[in-house]
Amino acid sequence: MADLQRLPPDAQSLDAIIDALESRGWGVFSNILPLDLATALAQRARSLGSYEQARVGRRRNRQVNTFVRRDSIAWIKGEHPLDQAWLTWADSLRLHINRSLMLGLVGFESHYAYYRPGTFYRRHLDAFRGDSNRVVSLVCYLNPSWQAADAGELVLYDPDADGRELGRFPPTLGTLAVYLSEVFPHEVLPTTADRFSLTGWFRSRSVLPVRNF
């Protein structure tokens, strides 16, 4: 397990992510995470006892809304070596993005997500312009034997052409989806099998809360 923490994302993968972010703002890549790390994280996702029903809304208005989303999540606090390995991997990516694209990303927050059969997350944005400091979203999928019949694809939408799909992506082990949080609407189609993932956001420096003076 200790070895996993030292694995940096390989340079080619990083460059592919940078190119995608720079040229179109999103990308989905298979086998980006080292397979042994992805496999270990997939096992960990299944062993967690701390999933809670996910909420929607901002700050104090967060509430369960089963019309919008029905997944359960477990926030990463970073004590476990495998969580550390994921955070370390993500941090290498963050530094690479900062060096290449000057986005000034300063932090990362992340949770495991568990979609039971029949659950989904309807079309949404991960951040709202001026209201959040989430800049880049990452989703890493943790399902070793995903079948087409399991459904549960991520759908990314073109922000400029209402309803046009950019693609549908099955949540296969080791696949990583990356997109600009404020720009790309997306959804998780109803799954028919247990669907596990790690979702995370790179943040920019905090924006001031909107207030009425």
The distance of closest approach from Cβ of residue 6 to Mn ion in the complex, given in angstroms and rounded to an integer, is: 30
Tokens representing 197? 């993932």
- With CB cut-offs between 5 and 8 Å by kind, which of ligand OGA, Mn ion, none does residue 197 bind? ligand OGA
In sign, the C-alpha dihedral spanning 113, 162, 61, 209 is: positive
- With CB cut-offs between 5 and 8 Å by kind, which of Mn ion, ligand OGA, none does residue 4 bind? none
The distance of closest approach from Cβ of residue 103 to ligand OGA in the complex, given in angstroms and rounded to an integer, is: 19
Q: How many CA atoms lie within 13 A of 204 on its CB side?
A: 20
Using CB under 5 A as the binding rule, the residues of this chain from 118 to 137 that contact Mn ion are 126
- Position 152: which residue type? G
- Contact letters for ligand OGA, residues 108-127 (x by CB under 6 A): -----x-------x----x-
Q: Which residue is nearest to ligand OGA (CB)?
A: 154
Whether 199 contacts 153, CB under 8 Å: no
CA 129 to CA 132: how far, in whole Å? Answer: 7
- Position 169: which residue type? F
Tell me: does residue 199 bind ligand OGA (CB under 6 A).
yes
Q: Which parts of this chain interact with Mn ion (CB under 5 A)? A: 126
